[in-house]
Amino acid sequence: MGKKTGREAREEREQILKLKHKYENRITIAKFGKESLDLRDYANALAKFIEYLQIMSEIKKTQDFYHLKPSHFNSKTEITEMLMISHIFFEMARIYDAIPKFSGDCQKCLDQFVIFSANQPYQVVNSEMVRKYLKKSAFKNPEVFRHSHGQIYVQSKKCFVVTFCYGTDHPITQDYRALKDILLDSNPGQEMVRLYYLYSSEAVLRWEHSAIMRLVTRFLIRPILLFVAKVILPFILR
C-alpha cells in the first residue's frame, strides 16, 4: 500500500476526532433517549437509542450494532456500559413490539438483549425485569418476550451455588447444567430455575465475603451436591 497523502491523513485524523467527540457524548445521547421514552415520544427515543448504539458499533468496529457482543467489551471496566446496552435493546424491543411491521426488529433487539444478559453479573436483574413486564401484560406479543426470558437461562452457563462450590468447568457443574436444561422444558421447571437463580445469586454474593460460609460450603454443601450428582442425577439425566 502506498503512503497516505497529506489530505488522506488529515481526513483520517478528523474522522478520529469526530468519533472521539461522539463517544464522549454517548451517555448524554442515551439519557435523551430515556427521557423521550418517559415522555412517550417513542420516535425520538428510538432515534437516540439507535444513535447511541451506532456510536458503540463504530467504536468497537462491528458491521452494525446488531453485531455488538459482550466479547467486544472489558468485563471489568465496561460492565456498566454493557448493562446500559442490554437495557437499550430491551426498550427498543418494547417500542418495536407496538408496531406489527417492526416485529423483525423487535426480535433482533430481544436477541441482543439476551446476549448481553446471559452470564453477566446483572443477569438475574434483567431476567426479573422482563418477568415483571410480562406479569403486567405490558406487551402486544408476550410470547416473544417470554421466549427471550427463558433464553437467558438457556444460554447461561451460571449455576451460582454449584459454580461457587466446584468452579465453572468442573464435571459436577456440567451435570447440574444438564439438569437445568431438563427443567427448562416445563413451566414448573422454569419457575424452579428462576427461583434458584434469583436467590442463589444473592446468597453467593454474601458467601464470598464470609469465612464461615466458605467452611459450610466446603464441609456441608459440597458433599450434598456431590451426593446428588453421583446418586440421583444419573437416573434423571440418562
Residue 162 binned pLDDT confidence (cut-offs 50, 70, 90): very high
Residue 2 confidence (pLDDT): 57
Question: How is residue 163 written as a grid cell?
Answer: 459454580
What is the secondary structure of 129-156 as a DSSP string?
HHHHHHHTT--SSHHHHHHHHHHHHHH-
The pLDDT value given to residue 28: 97
DSSP state of 2: P
Q: How confident is the model at residue 160 (pLDDT cuts 50, 70, 90)?
A: confident
d(CA 195, CA 106): 27
Radius of gyration of the chain from its Cα atoms, rounded to whole angstroms: 22
- Could you tell me the pTM of the whole model? 0.87
Q: Does 128 have pLDDT greater than 90? A: yes
Average pLDDT of the chain? Answer: 92
pLDDT of residue 152: 95
